Amino acid sequence: MLYKRLGGSGLKVSALGLGTNSFGSRADEAASARILHTAIDRGINFIDTANIYSATASESIIGNALEGRRHDVVLATKAGLARGDGPNARGSSRYHLMLELEDSLKRLKTDYVDLYQIHTFDPEAPLEETLRALDDMVRSGKVRYIGASNYAAWELMKALGISDRLGLNRFVSTQTSYSLADRTPERELAAACLDQGVGIISYFPLAGGILTGKYRSGEAAPAGSRAATNPGFTRFFDENNLALGRQVSGLADKLGCSASVLSLAWLMKQPAVSTVIVGATSTEQLEHNLGSVELPLDAAALEELDTLSRPFRNGEPFALYRLS
């Protein structure tokens, strides 16, 4: 396994991380535990979850499965998106974050998380309030590092500026949608991260499966796929996206690998990226994607992938989660 520093911190994370939003929904508890144990056995140490995944079931499953293996992983969770209908059941206020951290710790069966992330920017909570709350969490020992998620470049820079001015712990990472089908972070965010020592944690690295080439225009989604279990996902079936999936599959065939392995390997080569989180609903799927860590990509392959995906620098983000 390849390990990289998480931004400018001293923390080392696996180049391929495990996303767990399927735990408790598309993968039951037994399957999720097998996936998690396989990931750890194969050297993956970055495990990413959130308080809202599968209505909190993801955190609970991870807590059960990690008993006796807690220190083998860098455990990351998030808070900030809606957990209910109440006026304080969302956002980045001290009130909400403190409550959610305690609940996450109970479900995860641990007394600390390695990386606590704000799931999205909150336009109503003062950033100073949010950052002071996060700093208090670090000082209490319940959180080791802090990160952002779904922040625009200006929002991230504003937060870093406040932390620097007040002498607070600063974000070491930010999560964003980033893939061959979504290169919008390269417009501003990636450069800001490189300049400020913030590591990008890329989610949707396969564009929800589109970059595997398994979705074809006019054909039914494969059984068990994200689009089959969540029909709303077909809103991403833009012909440009599907065409890119076919083109990446064609290049992968020439290189003797799968489109998913090729797409993940390309993303790992991007200089601002610290880790690429990919989900799995079976150990076989996870084992397959692990091939991306060791896939060699020469200059010609990288140039072709850059050419194929260049138009996706200028569109809309593939995914962006914000408070309404």
| Residue 145 is among the residues annotated as catalytic for this protein | no
Q: How far apart are CA 163 and CA 168, in angstroms?
A: 5
Contact 201, 173 (CB under 8 A): yes
Please say whether the dihedral angle defined by the alpha carbons of residues 291, 276, 251 and 234, taken in this order, is positive or negative: positive
Nearest to residue 279, comparing CAs of 14, 13, 20? Answer: 20
Return the residue matching tokens 């909190």: 56
Name the token pair of 169: 């712990």
Longest Cα separation, the chain: 55
Distances (CA, A) of 265 to 88, 125, 208, 259, 324: 41, 38, 16, 10, 34
Q: Are 159 and 193 contacting, i.e. CB atoms less than 8 angstroms apart?
A: no
Measuring CA to CA, which residue among 113, 108, 117 is closest to residue 78?
117
- DSSP codes joined into one string, 217-254: TTSPPPTTSHHHH-GGGGGG--HHHHHHHHHHHHHHHH
In 3D space, the residue among 125, 184, 186, 120 whose CA is nearest the CA of residue 321 turns out to be 120
Catalytic residue among 53, 145, 151, 215: 53
Chain Cα centroid distance, residue 177: 8
Catalytic residue IDs: 53
